[in-house]
Amino acid sequence: MKRRTWTTILFIICVIGFWVFENFYTPEIYGPSDQKNQILPEKELWPSSKGEIVKHQYFMLSYRDAYEQAEWVAYVLKPEQLTQDDRRRPYFIEDPKVSSKSADWRNYKGSGYDRGHLCPAGDRRFLEQAYNETFYTSNISPQDREFNAGIWNRLEQKTRYWCKKYGDLVVITGGILEKGLEEIGEEDVDVPYQFYKIIYRDGPEGEAVIAFLIRNQESNRPLQDFVVPVGEIEALTRLNFFENKSKAWQNQFEKGTALSRWRF
């Protein structure tokens, strides 16, 4: 009888301990945060937000708890950051700066979807902390494996090419979050049907913007086929991607595609 009582008590303690861990545990952070030396887009280039804005050292994001992922991730990409440094791939961990905690990576296990980076780890090889930060689960979204390794990867490589050619870029990227999406894992992580990437530059030739909207599946079509006006992505996301820019600026840069300003 005593043994059964102790077993029951231990079971109750384990249940309580697990609940406390799940609700109050704060994950370890990947490196210290030096707010004075953060490399983030200028405020006039920030998108609007329906989620919680989180700033890391080398990228920022707006986290939507209802979808268990970021509605956008924004970062600056500089030519000197495009190194081939060999980095040890860290574990995916929950983002300690997201107040509700970002979704656990285990939601992706057995789902058939990749843990797709929004800010690519390949853009952050120049520094261990910068690289590791991309493995916060706030920076990942469920992506079809062939899409992630295929056309999405080709777009990331093209972005690096443009950075080398034109200089500093601001990149804003995410999935189209909407009602009725497929969900995976115990935390119901939504699977975007489409992903977007918006790229901005301001160099000797002036300002230029290009935007892509791609279905979450592999395609052999050229990247040019997926170029859309920024306004089209705004209509789908209900976000204003350059809300701090003037109306005249938005009318000039968000309604067209300006393919001629970007060498493919």
Spatial CA neighbour of 224 closest among 260, 189, 183: 260
State the DSSP H helix or E strand holding residue 179, giving kind and residue range, or none if neither: none
> What confidence score (pLDDT) does residue 53 get?
98
pTM: 0.88
Positions of the chain with pLDDT under 70:
1-35
CATH superfamily of this structure's domain 33-261? Extracellular Endonuclease, subunit A (3.40.570.10)
Write out the DSSP string of 70-107: EEEEEEEE-GGG-----------B--TTSTT-PPPGGG
Q: Distance between CA atoms of 37 and 166, rounded to whole angstroms? A: 24
Of 179, 215, 180, which Cα lies nearest the Cα of 195? 215
Domain ranges of the chain: 33-261
8-state DSSP, 50: S
Quote the pLDDT of residue 125.
Answer: 96
Query: What is the SS3 assignment for 136?
Result: strand
Q: Which two tokens stand for residue 59?
A: 């990228």
Contact 81, 113 (CB under 8 A): no
pLDDT digits (tens, 9 = 90+) for 43-90: 999 999 999 999 999 999 999 999 999 999 999 999 999 999 999 999
Residue in 109, 26, 33, 98 with CA at minimum distance from that of residue 69: 98
Residues assigned a catalytic role? 117
- What was the pLDDT predicted at 258? 87
Residues 176-198: tens digit of each pLDDT: 999 999 999 999 999 999 999 99
